[in-house]
């Protein structure tokens, strides 16, 4: 069966619907570090990642049954497993362990450094040219990330947790690079489903002890984990695919820069977290550098875009 997902090609949705979908994505992904912080109150990082994606996998299976997806070709199974490793397994294990020592707001900022790592991958892995403007943006962004890490817990409390969040961002940039090169093989829903399912399968390494931990966790924590599995890990991806299908990709991507301030606002309301002045300054540096990297003149962006061809 090779039923393909169709994203309302027959009718163009209103700008209001697309904007509402983008706002939904921002809120979902801004909630992710907050949900992780709550989940870590009762779950080990590996258990939390597996529980989150067991929920997401089940949800995506229901969507796949309703919409219909094609079966993967046997030769593509290693690629799909690699996508699952970078997008789900490594990314979320690094994220969960990192958030043991990094606030939810700071984690949301560090996670936005993915474009910086994409530029580094373009130069050192894919051997594409990176010009002076792009190097300046990358170095400025990494300096901003260092300010966020230092300011989150104080200069005397710097540890490896912030580096783990950056590892999660690097892992996501690797997934993004691979996915962009091979997305022509399957439609969006099919790629998301097999990425989530393969990444979840790899997380079964952490299955021992998960059931007992889930039984002992407070109801409020399990509810937060349930929301993690359904909203940031499943519905947000479907909503983002809808946004990208009905709007300009570069303009839509700009909305993602609202995630860190939204996460900080939500963290202040739900977790009573207050970012320090250094974190705010570091946030401004990181977001400015990433924005500058994406707003580079057309010729520069064209060169950077070669990494995805």
3-class SS at 132? helix
Distance in angstroms (rounded) separating the CA atoms of residues 255 and 30: 12
- 98 near 210, Cβ under 8 Å? no
Encoded tokens for 25:
């994505």
- Count of C-beta atoms within a 10 Å radius of residue 56: 25
Tell me the backbone φ, ψ of residue 165, rounded to 5 degrees. -65, -40
pLDDT at 215: 96
Q: Please name the residues in contact with 50: beta carbons below 8 A apart, sequence gap of 6 or more.
A: 200, 203, 204, 206, 207, 210
Looking at the chain, list the stretches that DSSP marks H as alpha helix, in order from N- to C-terminal side: 15-39, 45-67, 77-84, 91-98, 104-110, 114-124, 132-153, 161-182, 188-202, 210-216, 219-230, 236-245, 249-254, 259-270, 277-294, 298-305
Which pLDDT score, from 0 to 100, does residue 11 have? 59
- Kindly tell me the burial class for residue 96, based on how many C-beta atoms sit within 10 Å of its own C-beta (0-12, 13-18, 19 or more): buried
Alpha-carbon span 289 to 254, nearest angstrom: 13
**CB-side exposure of 36: number of CA atoms within 13 Å?**
33
Query: How far apart (Å, rounded) are the C-alpha atoms in residues 224 and 233?
Result: 13
Q: Please give the model's pTM, rounded to 2 decimal places.
A: 0.84
| Buried/exposed 102-117: b ≥16 CB within 10 Å, e otherwise | bbbbbbbbbbbbbbbb
The residues, any chain, with a CB within 8 Å of residue 295's CB and separated by 6 or more, are none
Predicted pLDDT at 188: 81
Q: Which residues contact 191 (CB under 8 A, 6 or more apart)?
A: 83, 179, 183
Per-residue pLDDT of the chain (309 residues; tens, 9 = 90+): 444 444 444 457 778 888 899 899 999 999 999 999 999 999 999 999 999 999 999 999 999 999 889 999 999 999 999 999 999 999 999 999 999 999 999 999 998 888 888 888 877 777 777 788 888 988 999 899 989 988 887 655 556 888 899 999 999 889 888 887 777 888 888 988 999 999 999 999 999 999 999 999 999 999 999 999 999 999 988 888 788 778 776 667 777 888 999 999 999 999 999 888 999 999 999 999 988 887 764 444 444 444 443
Q: How far apart are CA 271 and CA 239, in angstroms?
A: 26
């Amino acid at each position: 069966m090779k039923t393909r997902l169709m994203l309302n090609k027959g009718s163009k949705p209103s700008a209001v619907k697309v904007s509402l979908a983008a706002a939904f994505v921002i809120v979902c992904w801004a909630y992710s570090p907050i949900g992780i912080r709550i989940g870590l109150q009762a779950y080990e990082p590996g258990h939390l990642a597996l529980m989150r994606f067991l929920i997401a996998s089940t949800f995506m299976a229901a969507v796949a049954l309703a919409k219909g997806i094609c079966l993967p070709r046997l030769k593509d199974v290693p690629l799909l497993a690699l996508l699952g490793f970078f997008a789900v397994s490594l990314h979320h294990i690094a994220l969960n362990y990192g958030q043991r020592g990094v606030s939810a707001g700071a984690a949301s900022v560090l996670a936005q450094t993915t474009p910086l790592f994409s530029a580094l991958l373009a130069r050192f892995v894919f051997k594409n040219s990176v010009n002076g403007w792009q190097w300046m943006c990358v170095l400025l962004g990494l300096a901003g990330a260092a300010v966020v890490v230092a300011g989150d817990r104080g200069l005397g409390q710097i540890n490896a947790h912030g580096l783990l969040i950056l590892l999660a961002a690097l892992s996501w940039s690797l997934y993004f690079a691979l996915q962009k090169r091979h997305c022509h093989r399957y439609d969006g829903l099919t790629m998301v489903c097999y990425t989530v399912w393969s990444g979840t399968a790899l997380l079964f390494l952490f299955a021992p002890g998960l059931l007992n931990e889930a039984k002992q966790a407070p109801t409020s924590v399990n509810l937060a984990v349930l929301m993690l599995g359904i909203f940031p890990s499943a519905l947000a991806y479907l909503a983002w695919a809808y946004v990208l299908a009905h709007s300009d990709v570069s303009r839509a991507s700009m909305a993602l820069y609202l995630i860190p301030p939204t996460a900080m606002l939500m963290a202040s309301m739900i977790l009573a977290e207050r970012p320090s002045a250094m974190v705010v300054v570091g946030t401004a540096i990181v977001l400015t550098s990433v924005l500058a990297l994406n707003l580079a003149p057309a010729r520069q962006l064209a060169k950077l875009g070669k990494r995805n061809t």
